[in-house]
Amino acid sequence: MLIGLGLALPAALLGRVALAPVAILRDLPWLAPANALEAFAQEVQFRGMLLGALERTMSPRWANVSQAALFGLAHLAISYGGPEAPFVPITFLVGIGFGWLVRRTNSIWPAVIVHAAADIALQFAVVPGLYGF
């Protein structure tokens, strides 16, 4: 059942999620906390639940590759105003790294911190382009 739940949660991410250009002054204060919360949720789903469940059915190496593949595919749903396909191999490799970090530290928290920092940096790099500056 846990494996099914671990697979169903990432599948829910496969809906279209786009960054709508709205008032930057209104949105900017919420971007960092929203990205941090999203990073936490993804780490719980992919490295906390899914990786642990997969490790009970396969080797740790294949479990890490499998969760990273699903993590990469889940990012097909995110649109930064351009083609989404390049994010799949990038997020696959990042997922491998996050999985390694979780296994190395035996905690999702280091991965949550790195993931949140990366998402926040990406968000602040992308949002100004959406607003034309």
pLDDT digits (tens, 9 = 90+) for 104-122: 999 999 999 999 999 888 8
Is 10 among the domain residues? no
Is 25 among the domain residues? no
How many independent structural domains does the chain possess? 1
Q: Would you state the pLDDT for residue 11? A: 40
Is 97 among the domain residues? yes
Is 125 among the domain residues? yes
Is 23 among the domain residues? no
Structure tokens given for 107: 């905690």
User: Higher pLDDT residue, 128 or 33?
Assistant: 33
User: Higher pLDDT residue, 34 or 133?
Assistant: 34
Residue-range definition of the domain harbouring residue 66: 34-130
Number of helical H runs and strand E runs in the chain: 6, 2
| Phi, psi dihedrals of residue 78, rounded to the nearest 5° | -95, 125
- Beta strand extents in the chain (DSSP E only): 17-18, 78-79
Structure tokens given for 105: 């530290």
